[in-house]
Amino acid sequence: PTPATSVKLVLLGEAAVGKSSLVLRFVSNDFQENKEPTIGAAFLTQKCTIGERTIKYEIWDTAGQERFASLAPMYYRNAQAAIVVYDITKPASFIKARHWVKELHEQAAKDITIALVGNKYDLVQDDDEGQGEREGVRKVSVEEGQNLAAEEGLLFYETSAKTSYNVNDVFIGIGNKIPEA
């Protein structure tokens, strides 16, 4: 078997958008309703098989609180990939996501792979059949996310850490953009 390609990945985004929950879903296939806030940053690893390749993600899950923002460069400086997360029911978190994308493009590695992720899709989903959307709950449209991603050259997904909707796809999508070591 071919050796695993290690990929340093950082998660950025406003507090409580679900960064740690996305990581918990990806690493442990688990979800906690009342997840305790991250202090500083947490480090986790997870392997991901994509076709013939194995990617070992080395994940830095940062704290979203403003008082930790100055620490973020330590985590994204050497990162090959970043996931910028917002909550599709919280417009302020989308504005914050724009700022993170801008900062990454100014300060991070030129060839960094960035995924923009609108999380908490389950909150807008209709209960009946998962068809259609509940009225008024979504505050950031799919188009707004798609447009930002297209303008900035980002991968784009809407996800739910709660139902696991699209969570693995984010990491597979990123892996597909990482060149062979």
Quick check: 89 and 5 in contact, CB under 8 A?
A: no
Contacting residue, 4, 5, 6, 16, with ligand GDP by CB under 6 A: 16
Does position 120 bind ligand GDP by CB under 6 A? yes
Question: Which range in 13-21, 95-103, 125-133, 150-158 contacts ligand GDP by CB under 6 A?
Answer: 13-21
Contacting residue, 160, 170, 171, 174, with ligand GDP by CB under 6 A: 160
Does position 133 bind ligand GDP by CB under 6 A? no
What is the Cα–Cα distance from 69 to 8, expressed in whole angstroms?
19
Angle value at C-alpha 55, between 50 and 60, nearest 5 degrees: 130
33 binds, among Mg ion, ligand GDP, none (CB under 5 to 8 A by kind): ligand GDP
Phi, psi of 14 (to 5 degrees): -55, 155
CA nearest 28: which of 54, 4, 46? Answer: 46
Does position 62 bind ligand GDP by CB under 6 A? no
